[in-house]
Amino acid sequence: MPLDDTTPQLDALLLGTVLEMELSPRDNQVASKRYNLIPEHLQRPNSPIRPYMETALVYPQGSRAIGATIVHGADDDRFDLDAILEFRTPAGWTPRRVLDELHAAFEGFPDVKKIERCTRCIQLQFAFMHLDVTPMDPDRDPRAERVGEIYHSPDEGRDERFRVNPYGFGQDFRARITMPSRSFQDHVRDVRSKLQMKDRLVPGTIMADADIDALPEPIDPIRDAPQVIALKLMKRYLNLRYANRDEKRPVSVYLSKIAAEVPLSPFGICAQLESYAAELDKRMAAALETGRRPEERNPALWEENFNDRWPKHDREMKLFRMDLRHLVSELARARSSSLTDTRRIFDGLFGERVSEKAVRAYIDGLSSTAGVAHYEHNKGFVANPALIAAAPKKATQVSKAPAHHFHPGFRDK
Amino acid sequence: MKTKPRKPRSAQVQSNRMRHRWPDLRPRMLEGGRVIAWIGPLRGFQMRYEVAVIWEWQNPKAVPLVHVLDPPIEPRPGTDFIDLPHLNYDHQTPEDSALCLFDPDAGEWDSTMLIADRIVPWASEWLHFYEIWHLDGVWRGSNAPGPISVGEILRQRQEAPDGTRA
C-alpha cells in the first residue's frame, strides 16, 4: 500500500487513541495549579532558597509547552510534566548545591508523595503525575529571550552547566507546525467533547475543588495538529517498546523537533505517522552509514545539542530503527486488515486499554439513523470526512450518497 | 404541475458514471452480453474487498446486485449465513448471497438512478458495518423496519401462530 493513500477509518481510530491518552480538562487545571504553586511554595518563610525567589520565573517546558502531553501508558496512568525554574545562581553555589537546596526547599509541597533529586532536576511525584522542575540560571543582560544555563550534578562525575533555551525551542516548534483545516479541528473537538475522559489527578485537601474550578484552563489548539498527533502516537508507542528494556530511549525533544519538520501530510493521520517514522528511520540509517551520530540542535540556541545524551552507541540506533520498522509494518498491516485484526494491532502498538476505548468511542460515535453517507471516489465509505481533509488543500474527492435503509430478503431466482 | 417521468439510465450512462467515480471497478460483459459486471476493489472499514457489481442492463426491472468475492463474507463464529444482516439470501449457495442495500418498499432505488452514486457507496458502507458487526454482533447501519436478517425473518414466521410473517 503506498504511503500516499488515505485511511479515514484507521485515522479515526488513531485519533481516538490519542484523545484517550490526553489529560482531562480537570487534570489540566490541577496540573496548572501545581505549576503555579511552585514559586509560592519556594517563597514560604522557612524555604532555604526564599531570598533568591523574588525574581524567579516558572514556565512549562517539554511536552506541555508544545501540546504533546500524554499518559505514559506502560506502567500506570502517569503524566510526566516539566517546568523550568529560573533564578540567579546564589553566589558561590555549585550545581550540586543548587539542586540539593532546591530539593530541600520543595519539602512539604502540597499533595506530593515523594521528592527525588535527579542529576538535572527535582522530580515531584504526585499520584498519577510527575513534575520535573529544572533550575536554570538566566543569562545576564543583554539576554536572548529565556536563554540560560541548567545544572548537571551526577552522583559520580563532575558538575557541569549547559546553556539551553527550552522556551525558544517551544516557540520555534509552534511556528513550524501547520494547523489543519478548520473542519479537521472542529471534528477533533467534537470527538473530544463526546469522550468520557477520566480525571486522573485528584486534588488533595490543600487544593480545594472550588480553587481548581476557578482556574480557567487555556486550551492549546496546537495539540490537534496532525504533526503533534503523530508525535504523541510515537511517544506512546516507544513508551511501550522500552518499558521492559534496559536501554536508553530516544529523547523526547529530539523526537519533537523531527515531528515538526515533517510536513503536514494531505493524506491523514496514519500517513503523517508513517512519514514521521520514515524520516526518523532515514536519519538513523544515515548516522549508522556515515558513523556520525545525529546532532540535532536547538534552532533557538545553536550550541544546545538535543542528542547530547542519546544516542551514545550504534546499538541504540539499531534498536530504534527496528522499532520504527515494526511500527511502519504494523500500520501497513492495519491498512489492509479487518477491524477485528486492526484492534489487535493497536493493542500491540499503543496498549490494550486505549485501543479498546478508541474502538468503542468510534463505534459509539456512529449514527444508526439513515442519513447521507460520505464516500471517497474509487475507494469507498468515509465515516468522518473531516479527517481526510486535514490539509487545507484536499487530497481526495469525497461525495455524498443518498440516505437509505439496509434490508434483508430472499434472492429472487 | 406535472413532472416528466424520468427515463431508466442507459448502459452507457451507467458505465460512464462508473468509470468516472469508480475507475478501479472494471466492466466485463457476462452471459453473452446480457449482464455487465464491474469487478474491483472496495473499502470496508479499512481493508479492500474484491466485489462484483452485477447488472442485467437490458431488464428495466433488474436491481444491480453486489457480491463480495474476496475475502468472502462470513457469519460470526457459532452462527450461520442466515444470521448475517441484510443479505439478499441465496438459500442454495448462501455464500453467494448478494448484499441487500436498500428498502425496496421505500423507493430508495429504481432504474432511473445511478449505480455509481448509490449502489456502490452503499455496498462500501455495508462492508464497513459488517466488520463492526463481526466485532460485537450489533448491526449499526440504518435498518428498514422489521427483522435485520433472514434468520430473524424465519424465526418470526415460525413464532407466528398462523405461519404468516409476524
Is the Cβ pair A404, B47 closer than 8 Å?
Answer: no
Q: What is the mean pLDDT of each run of 10 residues along chain B (166 residues)?
A: 76 97 97 96 96 95 96 95 95 94 93 97 97 95 91 85 54
Q: Which residue has the cell 484517550?
A: A20
* 3-state SS record for B68-136: EEECCCCCCCCCCHHHCECEEECCCCHHHCEECCCCHHHCCCCCCCCCCCCHHHHHHHHHHHHHHHHHH
B139 near B133, Cβ under 8 Å?
yes
Chain B residue with the nearest C-alpha to that of A399: B117
Interface touch B21/A402, C-beta < 8 Å: no
CA distances from B10 to A255, A287, A330, B114 (A): 57, 62, 45, 10
Q: Residue B95 and residue A89: Cα distance in Å, rounded?
A: 78
What span, in angstroms and rounded, lies between the C-alpha atoms of A279 and A260? 11
Separation CA B93–CA A223 (nearest Å) = 52
Q: Do B86 and A371 touch (CB under 8 A)?
A: no
Q: In this predicted model, what pLDDT tens digit does every residue of A310-364 receive, in sequence order?
A: 999 999 999 999 999 999 999 999 999 999 999 999 999 999 989 999 999 999 9
- Among the listed residues A243, A186, A198, A269, the one whose alpha carbon sits nearest the alpha carbon of residue A22: A198
Spell out which residues of chain A touch residue B108, defining contact as CB-CB under 8 Å. Answer: 402-405
Beta carbons of B78 and B67 less than 8 angstroms apart: no
Q: Three-class SS string for chain A?
A: CCCCCCCHHHHHHHHHHHHHCCCCHHHHHHHHHHHHHHHHHHCCCCCCCHHHCCCCEEEEEHHHHCCCCCECCCCCCCEEEEEEEECCCCCCCCHHHHHHHHHHHCCCCCCCCEEEECCCCEEEEECCEEEEEEEEEECCCCCCCCCEEEEECCCCCCCEEEEECHHHHHHHHHHHCCCCCHHHHHHHHHHHHHCCCCCCCCCCCCCCHHHHHCCCCCCCHHHHCHHHHHHHHHHHHHHHHCCCCCCCCCCHHHHHHHHHHCCCCCCCHHHHHHHHHHHHHHHHHHHHHHCCCCCCEECCEEEEECCCCCCCCHHHHHHHHHHHHHHHHHHHHHHCCCHHHHHHHHHHHHCHHHHHHHHHHHHHCCCCCCCCEEEECCCEEECCHHHHHCCCCCCCCEEEECCCCECCEECCC
Residue in B closest to A397 by C-alpha: B21
Residue spans of chain A under pLDDT 50 = 1, 3, 205-206, 208-216
User: Does A219 lie at the interface with B, CB-CB under 8 angstroms?
Assistant: no
Q: What is the C-alpha separation between A89 and A151, in angstroms, rounded?
A: 10
Question: Which of A274, A273, A162 has the alpha carbon at shortest distance from A228?
Answer: A273
pTM: predicted TM-score of the whole model, two decimal places: 0.92
Residue B3: the pLDDT is: 65
From chain A, pick out residues whose CB is under 8 angstroms from the CB of B146. 407
Distance of residue A378 Cα from the nearest chain B Cα, in angstroms: 4
For β-strands A129-138 and A79-86, DSSP reports them as parallel
pLDDT attached to residue A203: 57
Note the pLDDT tens digit of each residue in A60-84: 999 989 999 998 887 667 888 999 9
CA–CA distances in Å: residue A78 to residues A28, A69, A176, A239, B117: 13, 11, 28, 12, 49
Give SS3 for B66: strand
Q: Which positions in chain A touch B143 (Cβ < 8 Å)? A: 368, 405-407
Judge: A342–B125 Cβ closer than 8 Å, yes or no: no
Q: What is the pLDDT of residue A72?
A: 85
Helix, strand and coil in chain B, % to nearest 5: 30, 20, 45
pLDDT of res. A395: 60
Q: What ipTM, to 2 d.p.?
A: 0.91
CB atoms inside a 10 Å sphere around CB A51: 10
- Quick one: pLDDT at residue A217? 58
Max alpha carbon distance in chain B (Å)?
A: 56
Residues of chain A with Cβ-Cβ distance to B150 below 8 Å are 408-410
The secondary structure of residue B31, as a DSSP letter, is: G
Does the beta-carbon distance from A405 to B89 stay under 8 Å? Answer: no
Nearest CB partner across the interface for B153, out of A376, A405, A408: A408
Residue type, B136: D
A302 touches chain B (CB under 8 A): no
